[in-house]
């Protein structure tokens, strides 16, 4: 599997835009993920070669940032806030309800490949607590309740 022509040129462009190959590493990983949902080994190696950095350097960055996914994720990624303001408004009940409904824990993907569930630090939605962000466009949702999670899971966030 190799990178599309469009992605290759976007990565090359990012080098000039962000002030050099190193500075464009994270942006390259973000762009690959935006198109493919996650960053596989082949894409990572190809992007590293394009930028002129080593695969190890690229991997170093890719594994540090929690929202660069190095394994396949579901069609919809659900990031549930575990910050204090959400906790104080029942986030753990929402978490339990989502886990029960999907049958997965944090860091896992449903067998049908539809959902991945991840916990995330404060999403800056304390005025919508308990909150989460869903889908590739990181749409803010909340206040969530155990009774309204169907709505969240069913809503198309793409």
Partner 1 sequence: MSAEQPLTGRARPDRRPHTLKEWRKLGGYDAVERGLKTMTPEEVLDTVAAANLNGRGGAGFPAATKWRFMPKPGDAPGDGPSYFIVNGDEMEPGAFKDRILLEAVPHQLIEGAILAAYATYSSEIIVLIRDAYRDAIANMTRAIAEAEKAGYLGKNVLGSGFDVKMWVHPSAGRYIVGEETALIEALEGKRAVPRKRPPFPAQSGLWGRPTTVNNVETVSCVSHIVGNGAQWFRALSRTEEGGTKVFGVSGRVNKPQIIEAPMGTTAAELIERAGGVSGTGVLRCFQPGGGASGFLEPAEADIPLDFGHVAKAGSMFGTGTMIVLDESACPVGVIARHIAFYARESCGWCTPCRDGLPWVAQIMARLERGEGRMEDLQVLRDTVEIAGPRGRTFCDLMGGAMSPLGTGLARFGDLFEAHVREGCCPIARDYGRAVA
By the criterion CB under 8 A, which residues form the site for partner 1? 17-19, 21-27, 29-30, 53, 57, 60-61, 64-68, 79, 82-85, 87-90, 92-93, 120-129, 133, 137-138, 140, 143
Please enumerate, by residue number, every residue annotated as part of a binding site.
81, 86, 122, 126
Please enumerate in sequence order all residues whose Cβ is within 8 A of that of 61, keeping only pairs 6 or more positions apart, or say none. Answer: 25, 26, 29, 68
> Is 46 or 82 the residue whose CB approaches partner 1 more closely?
82
DSSP 148: G
Shortest Å, Cβ 28 to partner 1: 10
Q: How far is the CB of 112 from partner 1 (least distance, A)?
A: 26
Q: How far apart are CA 23 and CA 39, in angstroms?
A: 18
Annotated binding site for [2Fe-2S] cluster: which residue ranges? 81, 86, 122, 126
């Amino acid at each position: 599997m190799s990178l599309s022509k469009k992605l290759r040129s976007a990565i090359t462009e990012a080098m000039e835009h962000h002030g050099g190959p190193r500075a464009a590493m994270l942006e390259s990983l973000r762009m690959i993920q935006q198109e493919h949902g996650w960053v596989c080994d082949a894409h990572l190696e190809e992007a590293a070669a394009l930028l002129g950095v080593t695969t190890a350097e690229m991997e170093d960055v890719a594994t540090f940032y929690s929202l660069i996914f190095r394994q396949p994720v579901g069609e919809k990624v659900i990031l549930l806030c575990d910050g204090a303001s959400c906790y104080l408004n029942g986030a753990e009940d929402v978490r339990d309800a989502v886990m029960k409904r999907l049958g997965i824990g944090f860091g896992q993907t449903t067998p049908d490949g539809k959902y991945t569930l991840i916990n995330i630090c404060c999403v800056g939605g304390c005025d919508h607590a308990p909150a989460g962000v869903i889908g590739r466009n990181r749409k803010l949702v909340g206040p969530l309740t155990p009774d309204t999670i169907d709505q969240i899971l069913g809503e198309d966030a793409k």
